[in-house]
Structure 1
C-alpha cells in the first residue's frame, strides 16, 4: 500500500480567486450545519426516549392496578399513555417536519453555497487551518471558523 500525502487533497484545496472571507463564511455555514446535525440527533433521541417511556407506562398502569390504585392506573392510561407531546403532534411527526422543512432547507443552502462559490468543495476552512497549524509545527485539530482556533 502506498503512503498518502500529509496534506489536503485536490477536493480540499481552495479554487483560484476565492477570497479568505468567502472561505471563512463557508466554514461558518458548515459549522452551523454541524450544530443542526447534532440537534437533529437529539431530536431523534427525544423521539425514541418518549416512545420508550410511553411503553413503560403499560407496566406502571398494571402495577398501580395490582397495588390497589385503580384511579391512578385509569388516569395514567387515559390521560398520559399515548398522549401527543405537543398538541396535535406525535414525536415522529415533529421529526418528520424538522427533516422535511428546516433541516432540508439548511442542507440545500449549504450545498448551494458550496456549489456556487467553490465548485462543491467541502471543509476548505478546516483544511487550510490544519495546513497553517502544520506549517507552524503544531498538529491539526478541529476548530471553529472565525474562532480563536
Structure 2
C-alpha cells in the first residue's frame, strides 16, 4: 500500500554522503551562474568604458582616452597565471570557460559516478525518503 522509499537499500551514512555530494554539485552550478553574471556584467562595464573613451576624446581629454584605450580596455579581469605569455591577463570569458571545462565538469562527473555506483543513478535519495515519510505521515495521522 505505501510507496517504496527509493533509498531503503542505503545506509544512513551513504544517504548522507549522496546528499552532500548533491549539495556540493548544486552549489557549483550556482557558482557557475554567478560567473556567467560576472562575465556579462564585466562585458557591459567594458562597453561603457569603450563609449567613455570616445567621449573623453571628443571632450579634448586625449591623454585620459589613450590611457583607457591602452591600459584598461585590453586588460583582463585577472592577472596572467604563472608562465603565461600575455601581459593582459585573463578575460572574464576565459575564467568562465576554464571553470566550466575543468573544475565544474570534473566535479559533476564525480557526482554522476557516486550516484551510479551507490544508488543506481538515483538522485535526491534523501529528499525522496523525506517526501515518502511525510506522505505516509499525512495518510496515517
State how many pairs are aligned: 128
User: Would you tell me which structure has more helix in proportion to its own residues?
Assistant: 2
Alignment equivalent of 2:66, drawn from 74, 77, 91 = 74
Structure-1 separation of matches of 2:64 and 2:39: 25
Give 5+ residue unaligned stretches, structure 2: 80-88
Aligned to 1:44: 36
Give 5+ residue unaligned stretches, structure 1: 1-6, 138-149
Deviations 1:79-115 (A, max 9, x none): 0012111123121111111111110111011011100
Are 1:63 and 2:64 an aligned pair?
A: no
Aligned to 1:114: 115
* Contact residue 64 and residue 72 of structure 1 kept, 8 A: yes
Structure-2 separation of matches of 1:17 and 1:134: 20
State the shift of 1:65 in Å: 1.6
RMSD: 2.0
State the shift of 1:136 in Å: 4.0
Are 1:30 and 2:30 an aligned pair?
A: no
TM-score between both structures, scaled by the size of structure 2: 0.81
